[in-house]
Amino acid sequence: MAALTVPGLAEIMLDRRVRLLGPEGLVLETLAIVCADSSRVAREVVQAHVQLMRERDKLGRQTGRAFLQASRSIGLRMADPRFWTQVAKVGAPTLVIHGSLDRLIPLAAAKELVRRRPDWTLEVLEGVGHVPMMETPALFMEALNEWGAYRIAGDGRHAAVNY
């Protein structure tokens, strides 16, 4: 992750990883980083990401630039005063779902977020990484559905949010 902060070096390293690993290897390596247990991600989800990587590969270097920009922003976002200004503007009921074993955004960051916004709800999923919706979708949906401030109702064709 530290290499991502060095302009030029990050691009070279990313290009090399893409060439060495190919789309499938890159997806598997990424899942190993963002999941506490990547074997829990459904095979269909993994294959969809591999296909997406193949399609993105056709876009050239812009995909790598977007990845680097997103990766760099993760570590710096909460240190930016503009982030907290935006957080203060949120008026909707908010549920923060966070994996206890998230290696990209520490649990302490999520706790700080809800400390500053005590009207928000934090649900910590034990033993889960950065992408609980992929790693443990049933547990993720259970947390979402149990949240009292948020309900989705509909007939299957249209959904409405009820507060």
d(CA 10, CA 93): 38
Topology adopted by domain 90-162: Rossmann fold (3.40.50)
What secondary structure letter does DSSP report for 150? -
In b/e form, how buried is each residue of 14-35, taking b as 16+ CB within 10 angstroms?
A: beeebeeeebeebbbebbeebb
Residue 157: is its pLDDT beyond 60? no
pLDDT band at 124 (very low <50, low <70, confident <90, very high): very high
Tens digits of residue pLDDT in 86-123: 999 999 889 999 999 999 889 999 999 999 999 999 99
pTM of the model: 0.76
User: Which pLDDT value is given to residue 1?
Assistant: 57
Give the residue from 52, 134, 120 showing the smallest Cα distance to 88: 120
Tally of residues, the chain: 163
Q: According to the model, what pLDDT value does residue 53 have?
A: 85
How far apart are alpha carbons 104 and 61 in whole angstroms? 24
2-11, 35-44, 148-157, range with the lowest pLDDT: 148-157
Q: Where are the domains of the chain?
A: 2-76, 90-162
Burial environment of residue 147 by CB neighbours within 10 A (0 to 12, 13 to 18, 19 or more): middle
Q: Where do the H-state alpha helices sit in 35-60?
A: 43-57
**Which segments of the chain are extended strands (E)?**
95-99, 121-125, 151-154, 159-162
Say which amino acid occupies 94.
T
